[in-house]
Structure 1
Amino acid sequence: MSVVYVLAHFDDEYCALPLLLARHRQGRRQRLLFVADYPSERVGRARFEETRALLRWLGLGDDAARHVGAGWGVQDGAVHRSLPDAWRALRAAVAAEEPEELVAPAWEGGHADHDMCALLASELQRALPGRPPIRQFGLYNGAGLPGPVFRACAPLVQNGPAAGVPLTAAEWARYAAAVRFYPSQAHVWSTLWPAMFARFATHGFRHQALEPGRVKERPHPGPLLYERTGRAAYDEVRACADAFVRDLR
């Protein structure tokens, strides 16, 4: 039995680190499955090694992380356009895992790839015996904000009640320092990391259940962050998601 994380990119796991720590303390087997592929093997290998370095630091083995999307053409930034391939790669990897819990990025409209992982986790839940629960964790969203402005790790009210993971002061310090494992993404974390820990200072780390019907809804009213930054159009993402689910049925 495993806790299975459905993730898009190497480094997404950093925003779920309190959950990883909590499940590790409980002695539960954890498997992180990454579906997005990268423009070059060199970039993919470098970023995968950064994730593995973090997991080793946590006490997890190299087999805890798998790049299931490697070679499937599920491109970083366009997972919604390759959902059938992402699904096949994910199902093949999950077959041997017997998930007791699924964890995915929140359905929040921050990055379309993250939202598609929530969708894939929801479909996995439907397909698996016992329908394991899904926990969703926020990365960033722009609900009610203008332009590229975002909130980091802030649960959307539309996603329901939030639960916390208690950390000691020493664990918070270790969490904050663990960003060092992602040198290739320093340009991302230079803005996201301060926003994350400003949020944590007042609200702590929060996660939510992902209910099955939630991924059929718009993440929140108004323009989504990935729309406002020109990364994707919700109408296209929605059409790809609906076509994928329809074909699965």
Structure 2
Amino acid sequence: MRWRSTSSTSIRTEMAVVYILAHFDDEYCGLPLVTAGVRAGEDQRFFYVADYASAELAERRYAESRALLAHLGVDPAHVLHVGQGTGALDGGVHRALPAAYEALRQAIAEVGAVEKIVVTAYEGGHMDHDMCALMAAKLAAAHGHPPIETISLYNGPRLGGPFFHGASPLPENGPVRRIRLSFGEWFAWMLAVRFFPSQTKTWLGLWPAMFFTYAKRGFGVQRLDPARIGQRPHAGVLFYERMFKVPYAEVRAAADAFLGPRLALHDHQEAE
């Protein structure tokens, strides 16, 4: 529960913290926010956007995320695969933005008042993550502009080949709000990766990179400026351009077509 003030009185009302995530297991990179929210009694809602070509894989990964979140104290009924059946396939959310957005819009409409949105960072690491940030900005505008906090997963400025920075917030995304964790909290977070056996190969690469960054800088989140979604995530070649062979120009064009001419303001900056 949260208190909201009107001009003449204060009323008690339920407000939700909404997580907009591309893929099952993305929540792992924001675990300190989830555990803090559980302790505070927040109404946390988790919406997963990407659809999957394999129903079996989708169900397995969905079960893994639900198991982790239930372990942390989140109501499983608040963990929804809103992207199921939308055609916004893993790796191609930008190609089905209207359907993905409509699924999110309907899910959030059933939540009611939104206190805060948490979303994957706009950082050029994965095109689906960036499109979630874009949709979060649009949804926030339709829900009274609640704050949007972003969590970094991975990005690749100044790197080449398969190399990336794990959980390293981009300077372009503004100041970082650091969150202090106890040794026990760090240890529990590290061990929680066990909930994703289907993604062992992915986490063998990402997990060490994440915690290497955390060891140096700690964990932090950034506030999303909606203007950022109209800009290139960072100068140079993006990680998803290198690894997934998806050009930024393709993602930008899809984003602009979805947003429309009044909202699609961007610098068209391209890598040399």
2:197 is the alignment partner of 1:176: no
Structure 1 contact 22–165 (Cα < 8 Å) conserved: no
1:247: Cα distance to partner? Answer: 7.7
Q: 1:126 aligns with which of 141, 144, 155?
A: 141
Q: TM-score, normalised by structure 2?
A: 0.89
SS at match of 1:68: coil
SS at match of 1:33: strand
Runs (4+) of structure 1 exceeding 6 A deviation are none
Q: Which amino acid in 1 is paired with 2:130?
A: D
Cα deviation, 1:51-87, whole Å, max 9, x if unaligned, reads: 0110111011111210001011110000000000001
Alignment of 1:23-172 (within 5 A): 23-97=37-111, 98-128=113-143, 130-172=144-186
Equivalent in the alignment of 1:238: 252
2:55 is the alignment partner of 1:13: no
Q: TM-score, normalised by structure 1?
A: 0.97
Equivalent in the alignment of 2:4: none
Equivalent in the alignment of 1:218: 232
**Percentage of identical aligned residues:** 51
- Give, in whole Å, the separation in 1 of the partners of 2:33 and 2:177: 11
- Give, in whole Å, the separation in 2 of the partners of 1:133 and 1:76: 27
- Give, in whole Å, the separation in 1 of the partners of 2:55 and 2:162: 30
1:147: Cα distance to partner? Answer: 1.6
Which 5+ residue runs of structure 2 have no aligned equivalent?
1-14, 264-272
Q: Which has the larger radius of gyration?
A: 2
SS at match of 1:37: coil
What is the aligned-residue RMSD (CA, Å)?
1.2
Q: Which amino acid in 1 is paired with 2:136?
A: A
- Give, in whole Å, the separation in 2 of the partners of 1:242 and 1:4: 24
Which 5+ residue runs of structure 1 have no aligned equivalent?
none
Pick which of 78-87 and 58-67 moved more: 58-67
Equivalent in the alignment of 1:205: 219
